[in-house]
Structure 1
Amino acid sequence: MKKAMFAALAALFALSAPVAAEDHEKPEWSIAIHGGAGTLDPDRMTPERRAAYEAALQEALDAGAKVLAEGGSAMEAVKAAILPMEDSPLFNAGKGAVFTWDGRNELDASIMDGRDRSAGAVTGVTTIRNPILLADTVRTESEHVFLMGEGAEQFAVEQGIETAPPEYFATEARRKSLERMKSEELSALDVDTKFGTVGAVALDQDGNLAAGTSTGGMTGKRWGRIGDTPVIGAGTYADNRSCAVSATGWGEYFIRVGVAMNICLRLAYGQQIVSAGDPEGEKDHSFIAQGIADAVMAEVKQLGGDGGVILVTPEGHAIFSFNTTGMYRGRADSSGMSEVAIFGGDVEAGASNTPDH
């Protein structure tokens, strides 16, 4: 009976031969972060630049882990992890965001609480130092989920959210990318070798999940283009019953697949099937979560999109899946695990890089 159940599950979700993880005691808390995915080549990255990225990832990971270790909420941990990445010029979020075609830095962010599925999102803001904080304030201090542009900035002023002048967000490297795109008539994908969106997902000691994502979008974006980051269900989703997900990649495809919510819904159903066929709980649910994440990312790839996801399950499994050559990422939990990685070859248990799908 069990074999039939697992065979049916594999067929249902089109799992791509995931590797089952060993059984572990459920961690008291867990967190995963990302700083973007894309075409990353270790031979073209200097040791100094790699060290800078690893240090920035570790700083963000440590900030979120500290909140969780001290008994803080998953929501607070997600914000704590994202803030230093928004403040770093290394990532395409907050300071260091890419330029639009018109030479502006337009910022998007979203956040979601797995306890009650409350959510907040903002898009096209240009003066908000930390968009993730504004997204959370939309969640907690308004009856809305999604605010845009001038209206979102007006709301931010009324709520006392810290602002910054346009020059704060501008960096020379991002400006040169826009100039190269225009002068050589390139596409955004030619100059954005990686999607520098940042995000975090967390499980706290009370068993609650949360997810958040922040970005500057794509270089040279026009006509008010909006990607997946501020779209609840595409770039961000959290539900205590299934998982918390944050995505990074080519937003148009992530929206079409509904990546974040798609993973959570498949996982919720997959857990029901596994529980029915394995009532004694002998099966490690990380096997199912990894397979589902890989399957959804394979679907994105099949449509023509690139990128990756991070997710945390109610059991505390922190999982990565990406269909690119690399993803800036990290994870930590109460067992003492703390690790960061960049390239697809930096293989860790519970992570999958499936660029050929």
Structure 2
Amino acid sequence: MIAVHCGAGYHNKKYHRKYNKLSKKACIKGIDVLKQGGTALESVKAAVIVLENDPITNAGYGSNLSTNGVIELDASVMDGRELVYGGCGAIRKIKNPIELAYDICVKQSKPLPLGLIPPSLLVGTGGLEYARGIGLNIVTNKSLISKKAFKQYVKCKHLYNQQSNKLDTVGAVCIDDSGHVASACSSGGLLLKRPGRVGQAALYGSGVWADSFIKEEPCVAVCTTGCGEHLVQTQLAKEISIDLKNETCVTTGLHKTMTDKFLKSRFLRNVNQKLGGALVLHANTARDEIAVLWGHSTQTMSLGFMSKMDRYPTGLISELPNEALAGDTINVGGTYFYNKINTE
């Protein structure tokens, strides 16, 4: 089972079909990995690469430009089986930053000589040199800039109040045949961000969370999207996962957590418009029940999901009710699947 998102923000209706098509394409890629015996972590990486490579999203190619006209990328993954995380921030010239985050994550459990500790987060030039060392695809800054992103950059160069309109961070959550979950997140950050800025997509507990370590408990994977600063301050991914572990109704539980710990968070008490979203996979092993949930305070959120039993994936755009105000209301949706969950 996999679910992906193309961000919470505002998605123009004329592009809804394109976003839905891309979500479905990413889901199919992730499911193909599972069908070949791959892990949840491998599946979310593969799905996010598809999202990064499409210029319609704000991740990888086509990402937002910083104030100096450079693309700096954030990404992270978390493996629920081992409870390990890998992230990269403000990374330049890497075509698919999710590959760097994945490599950092999987090497957490591999010992280094002299008792050195493997890094869990790399940023800037250090991250770029690490990527070169492991043979990742290094490209020019110019090759990452799409016509659409450059046009937005020129238009908004001196209009900073427009920077929250493009919040299309991408992400994925997955459960594999072993009953373990993983989460991934990738972003180009806010439009006209300052050079060196790192958002929630790179950070532990803010952009991703995954926990299937204790088999007797529900498994939960979360990835977030929206205004990175708001999500970092609230550590929303981790808060949602912890709360939903003990919820009888995860749909109302997600709404409660996003309301109490995001919209009403004391850490955001001075923020007028709180913009965020979350994609959640919750697996109850006792009931063989898998829930895919989403919640957002933005005008729209683009997402898709697919199980191994599905012939076709589902792609949709979740929208706030007409009378609701973005940044002031949480919209929650979801769907349930009943499949045998392997807990061996």
Report if TM-score (shorter chain) is over 0.5: yes
Other structure's SS at 2:34 match: helix
Determine if contact 1:332/1:339 at 8 Å carries over to the other structure. Answer: yes
The answer as to 2:168 corresponding to 1:196 is yes
Give the equivalent residue in structure 1 for 2:255.
294
- Say whether residues 1:95 and 2:72 are aligned partners: no
Residue aligning to 1:175: 150
Shift of 1:31: 1.1
Residue of structure 1 in register with 2:293 after alignment = 319
Which 4+ stretches in 1 moved above 4 angstroms? none
AA matched with 2:156: M
Q: What one-letter code is carried by the residue in structure 1 that aligns with 2:7?
A: G
Matched, 1:308 2:269: no
Asked if 1:112 corresponds to 2:78, the answer is: yes
Deviation at 1:345, TM superposition (A): 6.7
| CA distance in 2: counterparts of 1:110 and 1:201, whole angstroms | 12
Judge conservation of contact 2:31–2:306 (CA < 8 Å) in 1.
yes
SS of structure 1 residue aligned to 2:183: strand
> Hey, what's the Cα distance between the residues in 1 that align with 2:3 and 2:142?
31
Which of residues 187, 209, 227 is equivalent to 1:250? Answer: 227
CA contact (8 A) 1:31 1:202 kept: yes
The residue correspondences of 1:117-196 to structure 2 (distance < 5 A) are 117-141=83-107, 143-183=118-158, 185-187=159-161, 190-196=162-168
Aligned-residue offset at 1:247: 0.4
- Shift, 1:232, TM fit: 0.9
The structure-2 alpha-carbon separation of the partners of 1:355 and 1:334, relative to structure 1 and needing over 3 Å to count, comes to farther
Larger mean Cα displacement after TM superposition, 225-234 or 336-345: 336-345
Q: CA deviation at 1:74?
A: 0.4
Read off the aligned partner of 1:109 and give its amino acid letter.
A
**Cα separation, partners in 2 of 1:194 and 1:355, compared to 1, 3 Å:** farther
> AA paired with 2:187?
T
* Unmatched 5+ stretches in structure 2: 109-117, 285-289, 331-344
Matched, 1:64 2:64: no
Task: Give 1:355 deviation, angstroms.
Answer: 5.7
SS at match of 1:195: coil
> Which is worse superposed, 191-200 or 153-162?
191-200
- C-alpha separation between the residues in 2 aligned to 1:38 and 1:194? 6
Aligned mates of 2:59, 2:177 — CA distance in 1: 29
Higher helix share: 1
Q: What residue identity is the alignment partner of 1:68?
A: L
Superposition deviation, residue 194 in structure 1: 3.7
Q: Deviations over 1:7-55 (max 9, x none)?
A: xxxxxxxxxxxxxxxxxxxxxxx21100101134xxx532xx3322221
What is the alpha-carbon distance in structure 1 between the residues aligned to residue 39 and residue 295 of structure 2?
25
Judge which range, 221-230 or 152-161, deviates more. Answer: 221-230
Q: Distance in 2 between matches of 1:243 and 1:341?
A: 22
> Does the Cα contact within 8 Å between 2:297 and 2:328 map onto a contact in 1?
yes
| Alpha-carbon distance between aligned partners in 2 of 1:356 and 1:266, rounded to the nearest angstrom | 20
1:37 aligns with one of 1, 4, 8:
8
Alignment check: 8 A CA contact 1:322 1:355 kept:
no
The aligned counterpart of 1:356 is: 329
Q: Distance in 1 between matches of 2:227 and 2:177?
A: 33
Instruction: Give CA deviations for 1:224-263 in whole Å, capped at 9, x if unaligned.
Output: 2221111110110111044110000011111111101111
Matched letter for residue 251 of structure 2 = Q
Shift of residue 223 of structure 1? 4.9
User: Residue 112 of structure 1: CA displacement?
Assistant: 0.6
List runs of 5+ in structure 1 lacking aligned partners: 1-29, 272-284, 347-352
AA in 1 matched with 2:220: C
Between the aligned partners of 1:194 and 1:100, the Cα distance in structure 2 is 13
What is the aligned partner in structure 1 of residue 112 from structure 2?
none
> Does the 8 A contact of 2:7 with 2:302 survive in 1?
yes
What secondary structure does 2:78 align onto?
Answer: strand
User: Offset of 1:140 from its aligned partner?
Assistant: 2.3
Letter in 2 for 1:111: V
Q: What's the CA shift for 1:106?
A: 0.2
Work out the percentage of aligned pairs sharing the same amino acid.
29
Root mean square deviation of aligned Cα: 2.0
